[in-house]
Amino acid sequence: MSNAQYEVTIGLEVHVQLSTKSKIWCSCAVKTMAQVNSTVCPVCLAMPGSLPVLNRAVVEKAVLASLALNFQLNYQSFFDRKNYFYPDLPKGYQITQFFTPIAEKGFLELELEEGEKKKISLERLQIEEDTGKSQHASTGSLINLNRAGTPLIEIVSAPEIKSAQEAALYFKTLCDTLTFLGVTEGNLQEGNLRCDANVSLAEVGSKKLGTRREIKNLNSFRNVEKAIESEIKLQTEILSQGGKVKQQTLGFDANTLTIKVLREKGESSDYRYFPEPDVLPILLTEDDVSALKKKMVELPSEKRERYKSDFELSQYDASVLTQSKELALYFEEVMSLYKGKAKNAANWIMVELLRFLNEANCSPKNSPISPANLAELLLLIDSKVISGKMAKDVFEKMYDEKKSAKALVDELGLSQITSEEAIGKLIDEVIQKSPQQLSDYRNGKDRLFGFFVGQVMKLSQGKANPDLVNKILKEKL
Amino acid sequence: MKITPELTQKIADLAQIQLTEDESIYYASELAKIITSFEELSKVNTEGIDPLINPLFDHKEFFAHYQGTRPDEVQESLSTQQVLKNAPSVESGQFKINSFVEE
Amino acid sequence: MSTLKRSLLEAHALLKEKKISVQELTREAFSVAKLNEHNAYISLFEDLALAEAQKTDDLIARDGVKGPLMGIPYSLKDIFLTENLRTTAASKSLLNFISPYDGFVAKTLKEEGALLVGKNNLDEFAMGSTNENSAFGAVLNPLDKKTVAGGSSGGSAAAVAEGSSYFSIGSDTGGSIRLPANFCGLTSYKPTYGAVSRFGQIAFSSGLDQASPIARDVSDLHAVAQALLKKDPKDNTSIALPGGGLSSLEGASLKGKKIGIVKDYEGKVSPVVEEALKKAKEAAQKGGAEIVEVELPHAKYAVSVYYLMAPSEASGNLARYDGVHYGYRCQDAENIEELYKMSRANSFGPEVKKRIMLGTFALSVGYFDAFYQKAAKVRRLIQRDFQKAFSSCDFIMAPVCQNTAFEVGAKRETLDLYMNDLFTIPVNLAGHSAIAMPTEDFIHGKNKKATGIQLIASQFHDSELFKVSYALERELQGKGSKV
C-alpha cells in the first residue's frame, strides 16, 4: 500500500460513559447488566411533564477529566438541545453542550516508541447523555431504555493524529488516563468508551485538508487501528484514480474488517441547536475546582515516570505494571510494604502473578495473593529463609490455598537451613558417605565439587542455603 | 421572505409531520404571514445584547454552589410494567416498532 | 349563567363551623359539572371524588380542618399529570395516556386535602387564546355561551365561573390564565417564573410556562398560591421566593404605592377596556396610590418575540410525541419513517402543527440567528424596559386584552388572534408576576361583557403583589376584609 504521496489527517471524538451511580438527569441506577427496561423512570422515558435534574457527580467527574487532560475550564457553561428523531432517543432531542462546553483547549501526551512524546491538542470536553439501545429482529425492532440517560463526556481532538497506530494509541492513552482517574470504568466490552474517527487525505505539501469521512462507533483499540487502516486504503484508491472523496458517514464491520457507507453527510441533520431552558447553567468557583484538584490521582504516564526514576524500572516494566489501574495499585501496595528492590517485586508480578491472574481471568483487585502476602514472600526470599526456587512452589500454593507465605513455609517446614553448624553436620555426613569422591577431589578432580553440593542439597531436601554450602564445603574439602 | 410549499414540506420533514399537498399550501401561507410580521425585529438594534433564554439564568444565587443539582444517589425506578403501560406495542419487555437499520 | 354559590374561603368557614360536609360540597360541584353546559371538562372523577370526600369528612371529624384547601372541590387543567388518571393535553396524541406519577401540582393539592373534581378542557398543548383548539371541542363562556371562554386555560375559567369547582390550576405561558380569567370575570395569578414547580406539567415553552391558579377573588387565590409556592427538587428551575412565600393579606394597603401606567399601551384598547382601566386607576388613587407614567418601548415587539421563542421551545418539547414509547401511533405505518410522520400528523391539531413548524423553522440552519437568536436578544431589551420602569414605580397596571370575549367559532386571522396576548406576553418574557382581576362583579351582575386589568410586579415580589391586589380589589368591588 503506497500512500507516500498522501498525508493522513485524523481527528477523534471519544464518548466516555461516566462511572456514576445514578444517571445524569434522574436517579435511576447506571447498571450494565439489568433486565430490559428495569432502570427507567418518567424522566429517562421522556414522559410528558418530566424534567431533567443534573447529577452533581457528573460535573465533578467532568472537571476531573478536564484537569487531567490539561483543559481550560469554562467556569460557567450551559446545556443545549440537539434535536433529531430516533427510536432510542425518547425526548426527540439530546441534552448536550454545544455552544459553551465545560472545557476547551486541552492536550493529551502520547508516549511513542523510543521515549519520544507527542502532544495531541484537544478542542473540547462536553457533558451529554447516552441513548437507549435497539435490537433488531425480522418482526420489528425492539427498544430498551435502560441506557438512556447514562452520563457521557465527549472529548474532541484536533485533527493532529497522523496514522492508524497513533489513533489507537490515542484511544488507549485516553482510556487508561480516565480509568485511572476513576471517571469511567474503562470497560470497552461494555461500551464504556466509543470512538468516532474522522479521516482525510491530502497530497503531501498541500495546504488544504482533504474531504473527510467519519467512521462511527469504534469500540476497541484494535478496531480503531484496523478501521482507519482500511479507510486510508480506500481513500488512497479513490484519490489515486483521480476520484473525489465524498463527505460520508461510515460504519466498520469488525468481523469482516470492512468499511460500509451508512449515509451521505449532505442529506443529514440540521440539529437546530438551541439553549436548553430546563437546565440551569453550571457555575464553578475557584473553591469547587481546588476541592476537585485535591481529588486528582496520579495518572498512568506520571506513574510510569515515577517508576522509572524512583524505582529504576525500565520503560517496558513500567508499561506492563501500569496496564491497568488495579495492577499499578497492587504493585504500589506491595512496594509500600516490601521496601526492597523494585525489580524483584516487578518480576514476580509481571511473570508469576499475571500468569495466574490471566489464566483465571481474575483482576489484581481480587487476587488470592494479597499485596501484603506477596511482600512477605519477597522479604522471606531476601532474608534467605527460602530460596528463589522454593519460593515459586510456595507462591503457587499461596495462590491456590490463599494462605500467607509465612504460614506455608512453617507448615511445610520449608525454612532454609542457614546455621553453619547444621550445614557443617550435613557436609560431614556426605563426606563420610563418599570417601572415593573425596580422595578423587583432593587429587585434582575439581568438578566433583558440584557432586558434593548436589548431595548436600539432596540430603537437606533443598533447604540448605546454597551460598553457605559452598563456603563451608570449600573449607572442609 | 418567501415561504413556499416546498420549503414548508422540508420544515415538516424536519419536524417529522406528514403533510398533504393541500396542507403544505395552507401552512405555507400561514407561516408566510406570521414570519413576515416578524421582520419588524430586524429593525431593532441588538448590538452587544445578550440573549435572554430563561429569567433565572441571570440569578446566580439560584445555582451557585451546586444548588440546581442533585446528589449521586440511586432511587427506585418504575417497574417494567409501568414503563410499558402506555406503549402502543410491546415484545419481550421492550418497545416494539417497525424494523429500521441502525446508523 | 353562574351557579357560583360561594367563595373558597366561605366554603372553608362553613366546613370549620360544621355547617356543611365535604360530601355535600362535592355533590354540589358534580351536579353542576355533569350538566356540562360549557364543555369545561375533559374528564370527571365522580366516584373517586365521593370516596375521597367521605374519607376527608372522617378526617375532619377526627382532627378538624387542617388548612383552607382541605375538602374543597377543585379542578386541574388537563396538562397536569395525575397518577393513574388520564391526562390528555386536549390532544389526540394523549387520548388515553395514564400517568404513573403525580406531578408537583396534583401531589401538593392532594397533600392539602383538596378534592379533585376533574381535568379541565384547554387549547391543545396550551397553544391558543380562545380554547377552540381542543380535540374535545370548544369551551363556552359561562357569562355568555355565544362567546369564547378564552384560552388556553378556558376550561379552568369556565369550571370556576360555572360553579363546578372553587378554584382551578391553569397555566400561563403568554397570558393563558389571565386572558380566560379576564373573559369570565375571575381573578388569576401568574407567579414569578420558577416560583411554582413545573414537574408534572406538560411542557409547552419551558422558559415561560408557569402553573397559575384561577379563583373567585384575591383572597381565594392567596390561599391556593400559598400551598404551591415552594421549591421542588424535581424541577431545577423551581425556586423558593426570597422571604419565604406569601405573607398574610392583613393590613394590605395602596397608600404610598406608585402604580405605573404604560404609555405605549395607550389607545390600543376598545372603549370598554379603556373604561375599565380608567376605573381601576381611580380606585387605586382612592386607595392612596400615586399614578405615574412608565414606558415599555420594546413591548410592541413582544408578540413577535414570543411567537418565535415559544414555538421554538415547543418544537423540542413536543418531539417526544412520536408514537414510539407512549401516545398515539398510526397502525398503518409500513416503515419507521411513516410511523413517525403519520403518527404525528394524526396526533396534532392545526394550531399545534403550525407552531411546531414555526419553531422548527426559527431554529433551522440559516435562520437561527435572524429569528430565534434575534428574538432572544429583543427579549433582553424588554426585560430591561421593565427594570427601568420598576425603578420609578412599585407595580405596573395594564390591560389584559384589547377586547372582551368574542364570538365562538368565528373565523379569525392568526395574527389577530396572536395580538390578544399583546399585554400579557411581556410579563412572561421578563419572568415577572401578575394578578389579573375583574373591575366589577360580572358573575352576579347584569353586565356580562367581562373585562379587567392586571397588576404586574417585578420578579420575586409576589407577596407584595398579592397585598396590593387585595387592596385594589377592595376598592374596586367594595369588598370587606375576609382575612
Q: Provide the pLDDT for residue A82.
A: 97
A211 lies in which domain range? 6-289
Nearest to B97 among A58, A59, A143 (CB): A143
pLDDT-based confidence at residue B103 (cuts at 50, 70, 90): low
Reduce the DSSP state of residue B63 to 3 states and report it.
Answer: coil
Q: What is the pLDDT of residues A45-89, one digit of tens each?
A: 999 999 999 999 999 999 999 999 999 999 999 999 999 999 999
Does a structural domain hold residue A367? yes
One domain, residues A68 and A86: yes
Strands C211-215 and C115-120: unpaired
The per-residue pLDDT for A207 is 84
Q: Is residue A377 part of a domain?
A: yes
The ipTM assigned to this model is 0.96
Last residue of a domain, one of A383, A412, A441: A412
The full DSSP string for A349-403 is IIIIIHHHHHHHT--GGG-SS-HHHHHHHHHHHHTTSS-HHHHHHHHHHHHHH--
Contact B68 A279 (CB under 8 A): yes
pLDDT for C160 equals 97
- The answer as to whether A254 is a domain residue is yes
Residue A369 near residue A334, CB atoms below 8 Å: no
Q: Are residues A377 and A442 in the same domain?
A: no
State which H helix or E strand residue A407 sits in. Answer: helix A405-412
CB neighbourhood size of A255 (10 A) = 6
Q: How many C-beta atoms lie closer than 10 Å to residue C350's C-beta? A: 13
Specify if A335 maps to a domain.
Answer: yes
pLDDT tens digit sequence for C118-144: 999 999 999 999 999 999 999 999 999
Residue C275, number of CB atoms within 10 A of its CB: 13
User: Residue C64 region, left (φ>0) first, then alpha (ψ -120 to 50), else beta?
Assistant: left
Q: For residues A466 and A427, is the Cβ–Cβ distance under 8 A?
A: no
Mean pLDDT over each residue of chain A, to the nearest integer:
92
Cis (ω within 30 of 0) for the bond into B37? no
Looking at residue A347, its pLDDT comes to 94
| Residue A97 clears pLDDT 90, i.e. is over it | yes
pLDDT band at C482 (very low <50, low <70, confident <90, very high): very low
Same domain, A96 and A205: yes
pLDDT of residue C481: 39
Q: Residue A268: its pLDDT value, please?
A: 61
Chain A contacts of B88, Cβ < 8 Å? Answer: none
- Confidence band (pLDDT; 50, 70, 90) for A2? very low
Based on the fold, state whether residues A267 and A172 are members of the same structural domain: yes
Which H or E run includes A439? Answer: helix A435-442
Q: Do residues A371 and A264 share a domain?
A: no
The pLDDT value recorded for residue A389 is 80
Neighbouring chains of B at 3+ CB pairs under 8 Å are A, C
**What's the distance, CA A276 to chain centroid?**
35
**Triad A87, A91, A95: Cα angle to 5°:** 115
The answer to whether residues A246 and A362 belong to one domain is no
Residues of C with a catalytic annotation lie at 77, 152, 176
**C-beta of residue C72 within 8 angstroms of C-beta of residue C168:** no
Partner residues linked to C213 by β-bridges: C169
Q: Are C212 and C172 in contact (CB under 8 A)?
A: yes
Instruction: Please give the tally of structural domains in chain A.
Output: 3
Q: Is residue B72's pLDDT more than 80? A: yes
Listed by number, the residues of chain C in 72-91 with a beta carbon closer than 8 Å to a beta carbon of chain B are none
Chain A interface includes C124 (CB < 8 A): no
How much of chain A exceeds pLDDT 90, in percent?
71
- For chain A, report the end-to-end CA distance as a whole number of angstroms: 70
Q: Is B64 left (phi over 0), alpha (psi -120 to 50) or beta?
A: beta
Same domain (yes/no): A87, A200: yes
Indicate the residue among A289, A306, A332 that finishes a domain.
A289
**Angstroms from C129 CA to nearest CA on chain A:** 22
* pLDDT score for A4: 56
* pLDDT above 90: residue A273: yes
Q: Which residues of A touch B98 (CB under 8 A)?
A: 140-141
Percent of chain C with pLDDT over 70: 98
Among A54, A142, A215, most B C-beta atoms within 10 A, so best to mutate, is: A142
Comparing CB atoms, the residue among B53, B78, B84 nearest residue A277 is B53
The DSSP output letter for C372 is I
Chain A residue numbers touching B84 (CB-CB < 8 A): 37
**What is the CATH number for A455?**
1.10.10.410
Please state, as a whole number, how many other Cβ atoms lie within 10 Å of the Cβ of residue A366. Answer: 9
Same domain, A325 and A278: no
Residue C127 contacts residue C350 (beta carbons within 8 Å): no
Pick the more confident residue, C432 or C445.
C432
pLDDT in tens, C341-354: 999 999 999 999 99
Structural domains in chain B, sorted by start:
1-42 (1.10.20)
By mean pLDDT, which of A431-440, B53-62, C464-473 is the weakest?
Answer: A431-440
What is the per-residue pLDDT across C367-388, written as a single tens digit (0 to 9) for each? Answer: 999 999 999 999 999 999 999 9
In this predicted structure, the answer to whether residue A319 has a pLDDT above a threshold of 60 is yes
Asked if residue A166 and residue A124 are part of one domain, the reply reads: yes
In A285-370, alpha helices (H) = 286-293, 300-310, 315-321, 325-338, 342-347, 354-360
At C140, give phi and psi (nearest 5°).
-100, 150
Say if residue C3's pLDDT is above 70: no
Question: Looking at the domain assignment, is residue A1 inside a domain?
Answer: no
Pairing mode, strands A193-203 and A6-17: antiparallel
pLDDT given at position C298:
97
Q: Is the same domain home to A403 and A464?
A: no
Say how far apart CA C249 and CA C226 lie, in whole Å. Answer: 12
| B84 → chain C, closest CA residue | C325
Rounded Cα–Cα distance for residues C351 and C357 (Å):
10
DSSP strand pairing (C73-77 vs C167-171): parallel
Q: From chain A, pick out residues whose CB is under 8 angstroms from the CB of B7.
A: none
**Could you give the angle at which helices A435-442 and A420-433 cross, rounded to 10 degrees?**
100
Residue B3 DSSP class: -
Helix or strand holding residue C53 (H, E): helix C46-63
Provide the β-strand partners of residue A11.
A198
Tell which wins on pLDDT, C465 or C417.
C465
pLDDT reported for residue A456 = 85
What residue of A is the nearest CA neighbor of B86?
Answer: A47
Cβ C436 vs Cβ C182: under 8 Å: yes
C-alpha cell at A378: 519477597
Total count of residues recorded for chain A: 477
DSSP A236: H
CB A120 within 8 A of CB A158: yes
Can you give the C-alpha Rg of chain B in angstroms? 23
Cβ <8 Å between C326 and B88: yes
Q: Which uninterrupted H or E stretch holds A8?
A: strand A6-17
> Do A43 and A173 lie in a common domain?
yes
In whole angstroms, what is the distance from residue A281 CA to residue C198 CA? 18
Q: CA C280 to CA C454: how far, in whole Å? A: 10
User: Would you say the C-alpha torsion C314, C315, C316, C317 has a positive or negative sign?
Assistant: positive
pLDDT value of residue A393? 86
Q: Which residue of C has its CA nearest to A132?
A: C325
Q: Residue B20 corresponds to which amino acid? A: T
What is the per-residue DSSP string for C227-261?
Answer: HH-S--TT-TT--PPTTTSPPP-TT---TT-EEEE
Model pLDDT, residue A1: 42
Tell me whether residue A80 is in a domain. yes
Identity of the residue numbered A20: T
Local confidence band at A189 (pLDDT 50, 70, 90 cut-offs): very high
How far apart are alpha carbons A231 and A223 in whole angstroms?
A: 12
d(CA C424, CA A326): 62
Instruction: Say whether pLDDT at C471 is over 60.
Output: yes
Residue A13 and residue A142 share a domain: yes
**Residues of B with CB below 8 A from C328's CB?**
88
Helix %, strand %, coil % of chain A (to 5): 40, 20, 35
Domain final position from A396, A412, A428: A412
The grid coordinates of residue B102 equal: 441502525
Cα–Cα–Cα angle for C187, C189, C195, nearest 5°? Answer: 165
Domains identified in chain C and CATH numbers: 8-252 (3.90.1300.10)
Residue A279 lies in a domain: yes
Cis bond before residue C152 (omega within 30° of 0):
yes
State the average pLDDT over residues A405-411.
83
Which set of grid coordinates corresponds to residue C176? 393563558
Q: C73 in helix, strand or coil?
A: strand
